[in-house]
């Protein structure tokens, strides 16, 4: 099941299963969707045709939480239930990203060191790019060395806007 909502950042697609949110995708005119977002990203017919009441509940929960997030409550998305898949490494990176407080950033290298793979900073960036639920797992808080913004699947301008929303320059 999925739903599209309007946000200050553009159209946002929310997909859910009976277990939780499986994908969030902001429209980005510079990308052809879906792209590099992991195994649960596709808004496929299995999700669209699902009339499961729990999936609808998770979408409504996510929609409410995301609206609060876009109004400046960065903690609102922390309790959104997720149903995502990834490798063991990706899950470690995603868990580390969830530990970065709003208003803070961490370098890819610092995240790599935190998860016990100090030389895997590029793989951390790849795991960020495979994150199917950006915003809930805040990959926009991962930056390059010297605080360069690095990359972002939804575009650097949206990354800058998200960081400003969380009171970062």
At 169 the pLDDT is 53
Segment 12-23 shows an average pLDDT of: 94
Mean pLDDT score of the chain: 85
pLDDT digits (tens, 9 = 90+) for 100-141: 998 899 999 999 999 999 999 999 999 999 999 989 999 999
Residue ranges in the chain assigned as alpha helix (H): 45-48, 53-70, 88-98, 108-114, 121-129, 156-165
pLDDT at 159 over 50: yes
* Contact status, residue 95 vs residue 29, Cβ threshold 8 Å: no
At 104 the pLDDT is 92
Helix, strand counts (H, E) of the chain: 6, 5
The pTM of this model reads 0.82
Active-site annotation, residues: 139
Q: Taking Cα atoms as reference points, which of 35, 59, 130 lies closest to residue 89?
A: 130
50-54, 65-69, 99-103, 139-143: least confident range:
50-54
At 50 the pLDDT is 46
3-17, 31-45, 140-154: least confident range:
31-45
pLDDT at 34 over 60: no
């Amino acid at each position: 099941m999925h739903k599209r909502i309007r946000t200050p950042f553009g159209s946002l697609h929310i997909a859910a299963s009976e277990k939780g949110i499986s994908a969030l995708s902001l429209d980005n005119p510079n990308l052809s969707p879906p792209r590099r977002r992991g195994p649960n990203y596709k808004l496929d017919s299995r999700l669209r045709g699902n009339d499961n009441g729990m999936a609808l509940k998770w979408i409504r929960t996510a929609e409410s939480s995301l609206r609060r997030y876009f109004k400046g409550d960065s903690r609102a998305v922390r309790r959104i239930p997720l149903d995502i898949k990834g490798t063991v490494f990706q899950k470690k990176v995603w868990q580390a990203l969830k530990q970065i407080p709003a208003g803070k950033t961490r370098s890819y290298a610092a995240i790599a060191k935190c998860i016990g793979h100090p030389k895997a900073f590029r793989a951390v960036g790849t795991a960020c790019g495979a994150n199917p639920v950006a915003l809930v797992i805040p990959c926009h808080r991962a930056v390059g060395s010297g605080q360069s913004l690095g990359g972002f699947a939804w575009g650097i301008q949206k990354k800058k806007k998200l960081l400003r929303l969380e009171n970062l320059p």
